[in-house]
Every structure is written in C-alpha cells, then in structure tokens.
Amino acid sequence: MTSVLKGNFTPKKTVDLEPEKKDLETRFENAALKRLGGSIAFVAKKKIKWDADE
Amino acid sequence: MAKILFINPVVREEDVPRHVPYGIALLAAIAMDRGHLVQVYDANAWRRGEDVLRAVLRADDWDVVALGGITTTYNSIKRIVTAARDECPSSLIVLGGGILTSLPREMMTWLPQVDVGVIGEAFETLPEILGMVDAGQPDWTRVAGTVSRSPDGTLVLSPQRALIDDLDGLPYPAWDLFPLEEVYFKNSDVLYSEEGMLATRRLDINASYGCSLICRFCYHLGIAGDMRYETDDKGNVNPAFDKPGTYTRTIRYHSPEYVVTLVKHAYDTYGINFVTFLDENLMTMDQHSGRTWLKEICRLWHEFGLMPTYEYDDNGDIKSWTGVHWSGTSHATLCNPEILKTMRKAGCSHLVYGYESFAPHVMKTIGKGASPASNIRSFFWTLESGIRPIPNQIIGFPNEDFESIRLNMEAWKKLGIVVKPHFATPYPGSEWFTVYRKSILKQYDGDLEAFILDLGDASAISAVISHNFNAIELIGLREMMLKDDTRMIDAYEKIWCENHGIPEGAPATLYTKSDYGHAAE
C-alpha cells in the first residue's frame, strides 16, 4: 500500500493505493491505441453506444 | 498554523507523468519553512481519478486547498475545484500559476469555486494569504497579486505583486513530497539524446526566470517582467502582456553556486543521474551575465564532482555513468562555440532550439531575433561540440505559405532533421492571443472557455492564426511534409491559387503585414 499524500504531518485519514490492476481488455486497448493506424484498429468495447435493436 | 493541501492537476494525459511540478514544490517548501502544515496530492503523477481525489479532500480539515498549473491543465483544474468545493465547503480554495495569471477574470468567472486567485509570482503572495488565514481576518484586497470576490460578487484585483529580487533566498523544492520512486524516476528517460534516453533518475531544476526575446507565441507566466496592469475604458484593471510595440522584461537568475549546490543536493539525496534545466532560455542569462554564468556553472559542475564518468558495454557504448548529465534550452543567435564546448565537457547532452522555421520571411515576423542562417550556424556549432541540438519546428505561422513549407522541407533534408512540427498556437498570455483574440473567438463560436478546453501541447491543432491555411489544410500539409511529398504539395498549390483567385505568377499568399491579427475573420 502506498500513501498518495506526502507532507510534514500525519493527516487525520490516510489515503492508500492498491497497486493499479488493469484488466486484459484495458491493457489490450491501451496498447492498440498506441500503435493505431493502418491495419491496427479496434473496438473500444466500453464505448459502444449503438443499441443492437436500433 | 494553516493546514494546506497542494494539488498538482493532470497535464498531458497522452504521456506518462514526467515532471515534478517545480512551482508547487517550491511553494510547498516555502509554506513548510513558515511553519505551516503541508500535504501534497500529485494528481498528475497518480492519475487515479475522482474517487481518490475525493478521499484526499476528505482526509483532513484543510484550511486551504491550493492548486495551479499551465493553461493546458484547465480541464483537470475544473474537475478538482468542483470536487474540492463539494468535499471541503469551508476550505479556502486558491488557484495560481500561468492558467490564472493570463486570464484572471475569466478563470474566476468560469471557476466560481475558487476564492482567491494568485496573479503572477506566488513566492510572497501565498505566504501572505496563509498568514491571513492564520490571523482569521482575511482581506485579500490587502494582499498584492490577488484577484478575489467582493461581497456583491464583483471581482477585485489587488495591486500588482512585485517580482522578488533575491532568487537565492528561495528554499530548495520539496521534492520529497512527490512520488519520485513510485512514479517520476520510472519515467526519467527523455528521448532527446542518448544520455537522456539512458537517464534513470532524473529531476528538473529552474535556474532562471525570463527571456530577453519577444517571440510572438511565448507566454512568460507573468514572472518574467512580461506583465503590466492596465486599466480598460470601463475602469477595470487587468494584467496585460506582450502586444505589438510594448514588450517588458525582467531577467533574473540564481547564482551558479545556488544552481550547482542544488544539483549536488539532489545527487546526494536522491541519487539522480540527469537534470533538465526548465529555464526558458539559458543563453539569455549567459549573455546578460557577460558570458560568465554558464561558464561558472560548468566550472562548479566539475568542482562538485558532478561531471559524468562512464561505464561502457562490450560494443563501446555508454551503459551507465556516475555523476549528472544535463540538458536545457539554447538560442541560435545567443550561443557560441566556446560555451557549447564548455557545456559539453561538463556533461550537457542536448539543447532544445526553437528553430521554428527555415523560411526567412517567416523568421522576420516572429520576434525571435534569429534567421535561417543563424539557425544553421548554431546547429553545426552544437553538433561539433558533441551536444545534440533539438530542432523544434512550427507550421501555421500568420504568413506561412507554400514557399515556407518547401524551404522547411529542403532544410530538413539537407540537415538530416527528423521532425513533426508543432502547430502555431495562440496561448493566452502570448502576443498572438492578444492580437488574434477576436479571430479565436470566432473560431469557437464566441466561447473562449471552449478554446481553453481545446488547448493541448500544440502537437494537435486548435485555433488557427495562419492567414493562408485553415486547420484542415495545415494538418494535410504537415502530413505531406513528413512524407517529403512535394508533388502533392505542388498540385495543391495550383488548386489553392484557383480557389483564392490568385493569377499564375503572382505570389501565392493572402498575407499582408497590415492584416496581422485578422486571420479567419
């Protein structure tokens, strides 16, 4: 656990962070985004807004 | 004593966090020196979103929540002050930095959660605000360098804050309040030179404030003598910056002893192996000092044992080093071969040059005091010294035209320059912003806040100030420049001339000097 607050006194509450865990889907989409272009294209699954019934 | 939470807003989300915010680190150190209780939340370093931000805001009873940054942090600052007002209804919210300084009235209007804005340099203003919080009788109008709200909601600017004279009186930045090991040292590499790429423990320092030049695109944050208070025809006082015919500057720099002792402190305390000088223009200071400042910094670099010594791999390439490599900013007409060689011997690996353009007619209009010839001369001097010159380029200048585009492409080819130019961008506080304000508003349907939200680091396009090309043309032309495709550029010039009614043989430009400030109107 890592505290995100750093200072010269101890605050009333600490704010600790668990190591960030990105799921496979997020890691894939981030990696693909960095190389976007040409045949590297992907569907951002969490951003689909079109209802299949439309 | 006041309990203060500093928050560093998110900037350049497209990249990893690379720079400890120097101003906030200095202000945190100043506040601690005055006995205040200080915590720092570096939202840019952690990038954990709204839940963590709100938990931080609920972590204590903050007397003051203070934040600031450059103009491109606006998006993040807007989110932070909204959450801060929700979670900390009785805290004083203070906003400073370049973002507030260039547009104090607009920022205070768009961000009603902010109680006090700090205009210009905060080294003395913030401690005075904290002192008033301690005294329990706040009257911000008595603190120079602020904008605040009167009981009826109107904005009140106190008198202009003077810049401090004694820079060496500043404490060292409170680097230990930032996640160096967790975040920043992991992102130490800077892809400007081999040594920069190999840096594993980098910190930034700022050795000077100001620049003697009057580049039309520069904003000096109100801390370079570039800001004046002027009264408009309605009687409102506002900060004013560079405008045609009116340029003011104050040049200030730390002593070489302060600079190198600070680096030695960082070396001994944090084990750094690279330092980036954030200074606007190291060569301005060197010239202003009679060519003694950089020479003395370099001499002390050796005397303090900071000169790098290398370990090599089997191919004879540098693998690692002890000591500290460094980099900074230079200027085509202010550097000379002697100082460049001296800098290299003291461990300087690369210098950023705003070459901007290799077209004489463009360079004449931008206030840089440089020409294509001086660009090329400094380019070779720097290479010959063993330092990598970083040749920054811009397209989309007010008088950018097909000729300037071709001249740039020819120069890139001859000089081996590999570059994707920035787009000319009229940041608030720059002369371009003052001159093109009406045109910018027109491009954003009268919504200045929309323009501010759109601003990035100028690698993407926002408001256009070119008189010849619109945003789509500039993006297309940049793409063709990168591909060195003169055939397509030549073909488009013919179409462009037809579209604009320019007869064959006439100059392919719509720009005239008297049009300056009237793009896209």
Model confidence pLDDT, tens digit, residues B141-190:
999 999 999 999 999 999 999 999 999 999 999 999 999 999 999 999 99
Nearest CA in chain A to B32: A8
Helix (H) or strand (E) holding B372: helix B372-385
Task: Write the DSSP symbol of residue B154.
Answer: -
Max distance between CA atoms of chain B, in angstroms, equals 74
Closest by Cα among B41, B43, B17 to B28? B41
Give the confidence band of A52 by pLDDT, cuts at 50, 70, 90: low
Q: Does B46 touch chain A (CB under 8 A)?
A: yes
Is residue B521 pLDDT above 70, yes or no? Answer: no
Residue spans of the domains in chain A: they are: 21-54
- List the structure tokens of B499: 């579209």
Which H or E run contains B451?
helix B448-454
Interface mutation vs chain B, best among A2, A3, A4, most B CBs within 10 Å: A4
The pLDDT of A7-29, averaged and rounded, is 91
Q: Tell me the per-residue pLDDT of B390-417, one tens digit each, with 9 for 90 and over.
A: 999 999 999 999 999 999 999 999 999 9
**DSSP per residue over B9-21, as a string?**
PP--TTS------
The 8-class DSSP code of residue B260 comes to H
Under 8 Å between Cβ of B353 and B280: no
d(CA B504, CA B500): 12
Pairing of strands B388-395, B348-356: parallel
B108/chain A closest Cα distance in angstroms: 27
Q: Which residues of B168-185 are buried (b: 16+ CB within 10 A; e: fewer)?
A: eebeebbbebbbbeebbb
Instruction: Give the mean model confidence (pLDDT) for residues B119-139.
Output: 97
Contacts of A12 in chain B (CB under 8 A): 59-61
Chain A contact present for B2, CB below 8 A: no
- CB contact (8 A) between residue B46 and residue A7: no
Q: Does B56 touch chain A (CB under 8 A)?
A: yes
* B182 residue type, one letter: E
Interface probe with A: pick from B3, B16, B60, B175, most Cβ of A within 10 Å:
B60
Crossing angle between the packed helical segments B402-415 and B372-385, to the nearest 10 degrees: 20
Residues of chain B with Cβ-Cβ distance to A15 below 8 Å are 41, 52, 55-56, 59
d(CA A6, CA B285): 34
Average pLDDT, stretch B200-224?
A: 96
Mean pLDDT computed over B50-57: 96
Question: Distance (Å) from the C-alpha of residue A21 to the closest C-alpha of chain B?
Answer: 11
Chain A residues near any Cβ of chain B (below 8 Å): 2, 4-9, 11-15, 17, 20
Chain A positions touching B182 (Cβ under 8 A) are: 2
In this prediction, residues B80-84 reach a mean pLDDT of 98
Alpha-carbon gap, residue B281 to B249, rounded angstroms: 13
pLDDT at res. B9: 98
Query: Phi, psi (5° rounding) for residue B83?
Result: -65, -40
Residue B348: pLDDT over 50: yes
The enclosing H or E element of B296 equals helix B293-303
Q: Pick the residue of A1, A2, A5 with the most B CBs within 10 A to test the interface with B by mutation.
A: A5
pLDDT tier for residue B14 given thresholds of 50, 70 and 90: confident
Q: How far is residue A20 from each of residues B47, B103, B189, B292, measured CA to CA in Å?
A: 10, 37, 22, 49
Domain at B3-158, CATH from 2.60.40.10, 3.20.20.120, 3.40.50.280, 3.90.1150.220: 3.40.50.280
Which residues of B are less than 8 Å from A20 in CB distance?
48
CA pair distance B125, B128, nearest whole angstrom: 5
DSSP B373: H
At B519 the pLDDT is: 66
Minimal CA separation from A23 to chain B, in Å = 15
Mean pLDDT, chain B, whole residue set = 96
CA B408 to chain centre: 25
> pLDDT above 90 covers what percent of chain B?
96
Are B32 and A13 an interchain contact pair (Cβ–Cβ within 8 Å)? no
CA atoms within a 13 Å half-sphere pointing along the CA-CB vector of B411: 23
Give the C-alpha distances (Å, rounded to integers) separating B272 from B42, B178, B302, B325, B345. Answer: 20, 15, 16, 9, 19
Q: What value of ipTM does the predicted structure carry? A: 0.90
- d(CA B366, CA B380) in angstroms, rounded, equals 23
Residue B520 scores a pLDDT above 60: no
Nearest CA to B122 out of B106, B89, B105, B99 is that of B99
pLDDT bin (cut points 50, 70, 90) of residue A54 is low
Separation of alpha carbons B431 and B434, rounded Å: 5
CB within 8 Å: A8 and B32? yes
